[in-house]
Chain A
Amino acid sequence: MVTGHGPVERLVRLWLPVGFFLVLALFPFYWMAITSLKPNSELYNRRVMPLILHHPTLKHYVDLLTQTGFLTWTWNTMLVAVVSTAISLVLGVVLAYPLARMRFAGAGLIAMTVAAIYLVPQPLLFIPLADVINRLGLGNTLTAVILTYPTMLVPFCAWLLLGYFKTVPMELEEAARIDGASRLQTMRQIFLPLCTPGFISAGIFAFTLSQNEFLYALIFLTKSSVRTVPVGVIAELIRGDVFYWGQLMAGALLGSIPVALIYSFFVEHYVAGLTSGAVKG
């Protein structure tokens, strides 16, 4: 890479742009954090310099956790994200493995269909799906979202895993087949243990996507006891025209922490998953 060496050039070419993007990316989170720690007297006083914290308080957090359903919403969100991620990984594997390893008529068509479904955005489906869920009597149950999230996550996991599976060498499976293992045994005992990094990538993506989902949760979950964090925050912390900004920011911050935490542990897997699809294209 050809880069400048002088300190001024390095400032202009590196630190100014990187600093700009970093401040832009992080300021909303900083603003969330300090707003959630400010007492109302400071929050709604225009004469106080807003960018720093003068009298920190945990009142908004205490109120959020004791006076709203936030803990219930968090539990619901986690449950839904974990179960729908697990379902999607299993279904994704059984969909991707034959596409990656077997030769059969129709494989190309199925692979294309999976890719196309992965790209279908929810707003195209939510109206008929709402009617289907109602007719099944699943309105206001977590089952409604646990069933519908995998419609986005299965094609996604299958597509990501398909790419990963193709990078795993076939020799071990061939050896196992020669030794007389059935196809199922070869897949389960030889192949799948080699694919842990792929599962981690797909799992994190599926988990963050389910935590992020809003439209289906908004339509299917209208009772506080079954709501997820994004819907609970929007529907119940904004009451009419009254905004409880301290609580809202506390909720936004706490709601972001599970995703951010998981992401921070597996950031390399996340980036690998993010770039594999496009880079290999």
Chain B
Amino acid sequence: MSVRSEPFVGAARPGRHIATLASWLDRQSVFSWLMMAPPLLFLAALVGYPFCYGILLSLQDRPVAHAGTFVGLKNFATNLHDPLFWRVALNTFVYTALATLLKMVGGLALALAMNQQFPLKNLVRALMLLPFIVPTVLSTVAWMWILDPAFSVLNWLLVLVGVPKPGPSWLGNPILAMISIIVINTWRGLPFYGITLLAGLQTVPPELYEAATIDGASGWQRFRYVTLPLLQPIILIVTLFSVIFTFADFQLVYVLTHGGPQNATQLFATYAFDIAMGAGQLGLGASVALAMLPALALLIVALTIYLRKG
């Protein structure tokens, strides 16, 4: 142990000023604020300032490399009259809702399956998490090749079981493209749900199941009335997390479909990117990105309050 018994701050102190300074620095509030100043200033400069600046940009007509002119709420009005904007809103909603639902149900199934004793369990758990830890862009490239129009291995398998050649055009058909991004988002996020819920399941006391069994509860009833209520807080947190980051997803769609075909998979983030970085309209792009704010703010406040309670 490295606990020293002699005093750190010696009695032979040179002057009273230093002693006063030392005791001032030792006050909890002074110490805390001095300590937190560097990270807080950093976050204020690179999160707080850009956030406010983004609001300002959204009120400007601001072509890239030109000065902006203030136009009030014109950008937001443009969005409201743009059918594509509403298409993007619908896409984002469908994508978030279905992917979250799939992850929740699949993750719960994964957690229940893994909550049994079997050999090499830790290895299996480690492998299951691979989709979640590998860089999204790189695994998405693999999926792109799995769904390739000419050499899709998925279609090769489908043709084997009797689907007419050449099989579905996964990324060329608007509905199939939406299904594809939902499934791949689920593939990546499901392990996070599964492993987190598994940790939750392991905290359920076995006596509860035994008591329920003695009372004649069936497997389904034990799940419905013992497991589910105890897991509910964890499910809620994981879901809020997942909704926030699915709602604002960019990477997967940018790499796999670029929002296509015919904007069928365009989400808020990719659409804002296209307008700001592709067409160079920073103001309009910022207004599209900010259109995510009301929903996001609601979710973030809900989750923050929930996390604080814990």
Q: Is B134 in contact with chain A by the CB < 8 A criterion?
A: yes
Which residues of chain A have C-beta atoms less than 8 A from B36's C-beta?
94-95, 98-99, 110
**Total A-B residue contacts, Cβ distance less than 8 Å:** 327
Residues of A within 8 A of B86 (CB): none
Interface positions of B from 190 to 209, Cβ below 8 Å from A: 190-192, 194-196, 199-200, 203, 206, 209
| Closest Cβ–Cβ distance, residue A41 to chain B (whole Å) | 13
Closest to B165 in A: A46
* Closest partner residue, chain B, to A150 (CB atom): B42
B25 near A182 with CB under 8 A, answer yes
Contacting B at CB under 8 A, from A134-155, are 147-148, 150-151, 154-155
Please give, as numbers and ranges, the residues of chain A lying within 8 Å of B146 by CB-CB distance.
Answer: 28, 31
Q: Inside 8 A of B28's CB, which chain A residues have their CB?
A: 98, 102-104, 183
Given the contacts A104-B33, A158-B39, A214-B136, A111 and B308 also touching, CB distance less than 8 Å? yes
Query: Which listed residue (B29, B43, B248, B254) contacts A121, Cβ 8 A?
Result: B248
**Quick check: is A65 within 8 A (CB to CB) of the other chain?**
no
CB distance from A163 to the nearest CB of B (A): 9
- Of A56-64, A195-203, A259-267, the one touching chain B: A259-267
Q: Are A278 and B43 in contact (CB under 8 A)?
A: no
B residues 266-308 near A (Cβ < 8 Å) are 268-269, 272-273, 276-277, 282, 285-286, 289-290, 292-293, 296, 299-301, 303-304, 306-308
Contact A279 B234 (CB under 8 A): yes
Within 8 A of A (CB), among B133-168: 133-139, 141-143, 145-146, 148, 151, 153, 156
Contact among B43, B131, B138 with A151 in the assembled complex (CB-CB below 8 Å): B43
Residues of A contacting B276 with CB < 8 Å? 126-127, 130
B18 within 8 A of A: no
**A180:B8 contact, CB within 8 angstroms:** yes
Number of interface residues of B (CB under 8 A): 119
Rounded to whole angstroms, the CA-CA distance of A263 and B128 in the bound complex is 12
| Chain A residues whose C-beta falls within 8 Å of the C-beta of B269 in the assembled complex | 121, 123, 215
Q: Which residues of B contact A151 (CB under 8 A)?
A: 42-43, 46-47
Q: Given known contacts A26-B130, A102-B31, A182-B22, is B308 in contact with A115 (CB within 8 Å)? A: yes
In the complex, B213 has a CB within 8 A of chain A: yes
Q: Number of A interface residues at 8 Å Cβ cutoff, please give it.
A: 110
A230→B135 contact, CB < 8 A: yes
B123 → chain A, closest Cβ, in Å? 9
B114 in the interface, Cβ–Cβ < 8 Å?
A: yes
- A242 beta carbon closer than 8 Å to chain B: no
A139 smallest CB distance to B (angstroms): 12
Max chain B C-beta neighbours (<10 A), residue from A119, A147, A176:
A119
Q: Hey, which chain B residues are within 8 Å of A185, CB to CB?
A: 8
A263 to B113, CA, bound (A): 23
Task: Point out the residue from A91, A147, A211, A277 that lies within 8 Å of B38, measured CB to CB.
Answer: A91
* Distance A98 CA – B137 CA, assembled complex (angstroms): 37
A50 to B40 Cα, complex, angstroms: 54
Q: Is the CB of B222 within 8 A of A50?
A: no
Is B53 part of the contact surface with A, judged by Cβ < 8 Å? Answer: yes
- Asked if residues B51 and A128 are in contact (CB atoms below 8 Å), the reply is yes
Chain A, residue nearest B114 (CB): A18
Q: A108–B308 Cα gap in the complex (Å)?
A: 9
Question: A35 in the interface, Cβ–Cβ < 8 Å?
Answer: yes
| A252 interface residue (CB < 8 Å to B) | yes
Identify B53's interface contact among A131, A184, A193, A278, CB under 8 A. A131
Is there contact, CB below 8 Å, between B136 and A131?
no
- Give the chain A neighbours of B135 by CB distance below 8 A: 211-212, 214, 229-230, 255-256, 259
B225 on the A face (CB < 8 A):
no
Q: In the bound complex, do residue A132 and residue B49 qualify as a contact, i.e. CB atoms below 8 Å apart?
A: yes
Among the stretches B76-84, B174-182, B237-245, the one at the interface with A is B237-245
- Chain B residues with CB under 8 Å of A14's CB are 113, 116, 118
A265-277 interface bits toward B, Cβ cutoff 8 Å, 1 = contact, 0 = none: 0010011001101
Q: Closest approach, in angstroms, between the C-beta of B59 and any C-beta of chain A?
A: 12
With A127-B54, A214-B251 known as contacts, the answer to whether A281 contacts B307 (CB < 8 A) is yes
Q: Is A24 an interface residue (CB 8 A)?
A: yes
Residues of B within 8 A of A158 (CB): 39
Q: Choose from A98, A127, A179, A252 the contact partner of B282 (Cβ within 8 Å).
A: A127
Cα distance A125–B141 in the bound complex, in angstroms? 25
Query: Which residue on chain B has the smallest CB distance to residue A132?
Result: B50
Interface flag for B32 (CB, 8 Å): yes
Counting CB contacts under 8 A, is B57 at the interface?
yes
Shortest beta-carbon contacts, A-B, top 7:
A121-B248, A180-B7, A98-B32, A123-B269, A275-B199, A17-B113, A230-B137
Contacts from A to B (Cβ < 8 Å): 1-3, 13-14, 17-18, 21-22, 24-26, 28-29, 31-32, 35, 43-44, 46, 50-51, 91-92, 94-95, 97-99, 102-105, 107-108, 110-112, 115-117, 119-132, 147-148, 150-151, 154-155, 158, 172, 175-176, 179-185, 189-190, 193, 208, 211-212, 214-215, 218-219, 229-231, 233-234, 243, 245, 248-249, 251-253, 255-256, 259-260, 263-264, 267, 270-271, 274-275, 277-281
Offer 10 A-B interface pairs, CB within 8 angstroms, sorted by A. A28-B139, A29-B134, A104-B33, A119-B304, A125-B54, A128-B53, A184-B31, A252-B142, A255-B135, A281-B233
